[in-house]
């Protein structure tokens, strides 16, 4: 599989498309074919080395934490999803980044993507969702926003089965 990785800290020129090992789906996880990956400020901070002390990693590093895509494999203990589900998620950075063709992610970090939300828009939601989990007001606003987007586009479309992060 291909992934955008860095072999050293630096500017954007250090990011290279490379062959990378295919991630392995854990029993409690999913293997997702990435359609869109979110880009966050923390990505350039990691790439530049500004966060090397807070997030020690071994090179090569695949950046990215947010993505949306299609489930291609379901772990034996991940019963809420099936192959073919369109999902969005926040991937634990310590297990590999989302700037890749495939990402193995824990099922608790995944939500079904509403059919009316494009992959690119869904890939922008996970970091926002995680940041709002401690704020009830912000979380309600995000749920209303997602529901409104869904219901305005196709009234019969359902929001995700459960919130991202399992809460």
Domains and CATH numbers, the chain: 2-166 (3.90.180.10)
**Whether the predicted pLDDT of 149 surpasses 50:** no
CA distance 101 to 6: 16
**Whether the predicted pLDDT of 118 surpasses 60:** yes
Confidence of residue 152 (pLDDT cuts 50, 70, 90): very low
Query: What is the arithmetic mean of pLDDT over 38-52?
Result: 90
**Whether the predicted pLDDT of 150 surpasses 50:** no
pLDDT higher for 107 or 147? 107
Dig out the tokens for 100 from the structure: 């890749």
Closest to 114 measured CA to CA, from 83, 139, 151, 165: 151
pLDDT higher for 150 or 51? 51
State residue 148's pLDDT score: 47
């Amino acid at each position: 599989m291909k992934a955008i990785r860095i072999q050293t800290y630096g500017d954007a020129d250090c990011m290279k498309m490379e062959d990378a090992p295919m991630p392995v789906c854990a029993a409690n996880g999913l293997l997702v074919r990435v359609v869109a990956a979110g880009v966050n400020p923390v990505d350039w901070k990691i790439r530049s080395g500004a966060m090397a002390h807070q997030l020690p990693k071994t090179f090569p590093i695949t950046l990215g934490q947010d993505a949306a895509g299609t489930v291609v494999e379901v772990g034996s203990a991940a019963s809420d999803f099936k192959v073919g589900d369109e999902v969005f998620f926040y991937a634990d950075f310590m297990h590999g980044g989302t700037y890749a063709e495939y990402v193995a992610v824990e099922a608790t970090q995944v939500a079904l993507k509403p059919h009316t939300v494009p992959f690119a828009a869904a890939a922008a939601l996970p970091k926002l969702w995680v940041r709002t989990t401690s704020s009830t007001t912000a979380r309600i606003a995000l749920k209303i926003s997602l529901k409104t987007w869904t219901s305005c586009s196709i009234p019969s479309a359902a929001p995700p089965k459960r919130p991202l992060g399992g809460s």
